[in-house]
Amino acid sequence: MISSDISDAPIGIFDSGIGGLTVYMAVRKLLPYENIVYLGDTARVPYGTKSADVVRQYSKTNTEFLLSKEVKVVVVACNTASASSISFLKKSFPDIPIFGVIEPTIAQLRSHSDNLSKIGVIGTNTTISSGVYQEKIGNLYPKMQILSKACPLFVPLVEEGVLENNLTFNTIDYYLSQWKAEDLDALLLGCTHYPLLIPALSHYFGESVEIIDSAKDTASHLQKILADRGVLNQSSQHGSDTIFVTDDIPLFKKTANLFMNTDGFNFFHI
């Protein structure tokens, strides 16, 4: 068990780029007094087109950087890295809690499972080809019909801030037009970039298709881990917000400010 004297140590979160900020925002909303350090590996985005071995090495480097900031937990806010790297990271860094976004999302399906008979899963090439969502959902709910589709162009759309215009809708239609006739009950977003496209996806599929993203479920899982270990920050002051990026800071801030207020954030390039 981690000693409670590090309760004010920061939470570490990393993603390939800007998409993990959806998890960041959910964590900040649920845990306002925690200090958070976020690493966006923008120089090497997207991860979803890389091999699993390469993503594991990127994930190890990212984790090592966060550990240099003396974080008390590492959240892998990237589905691609979660699919390929969690077991590897836990073995490489056994002294600190490390978890990704997949397990909390799958667990949350229990609250929906009675109403879901057909679900679509979208993600990057690496995440979808890994079969991790298909396998885990199928093991829990063998009667559920699972469709899956890699949508690699969604990540650069988000990274460029192209969230809801003709190009956005044309790209959605390019990948998912066949699903409009499938009577989906839900669409599971297997990439933390994709929640930024929820308005466009909701418009495309309509209100009858529930959209499930991982951010809130991941934040709730994090809160439970910290509480169980007795290391929730007991401060009454708002926690600090520190963001590191491996490429251009102004571009990152410009896109981030399309969906969140970064006033008061500390930005650094590494």
Quick one: the chain helix, strand, coil %, rounded to 5? 45, 15, 35
Q: How would you list the strands of the sheet with 98-100, edge to edge?
A: 98-100, 73-76, 11-15, 36-40, 241-245, 266-269
Helices 79-92 and 52-68: angle between axes, nearest 10 degrees: 60
Catalytic residue among 26, 45, 74, 78: 78
DSSP lists the bridge partners of residue 121 as 148, 188
H/E element, 188? strand 186-190
* Encoded amino acid at 38, one letter: Y
Is 151 a known active-site residue? Answer: no
Q: How do strand 118-123 and strand 98-100 relate by DSSP bridges?
A: unpaired
Catalytic: 78? Answer: yes
Catalytic residue, chosen from 13, 102, 191, 231, is: 191
Place of tokens 């998890």: 23
Distances (CA, A) of 174 to 146, 150, 166, 184: 20, 11, 12, 17
Neighbours of 75 (CB within 10 A): 30
* CA proximity to 186, closest of 112, 248, 127, 244: 112
**DSSP label of 150:** E
Distances (CA, A) of 228 to 1, 220, 221, 225, 231: 9, 12, 11, 5, 8
Catalytic residues: 78, 191
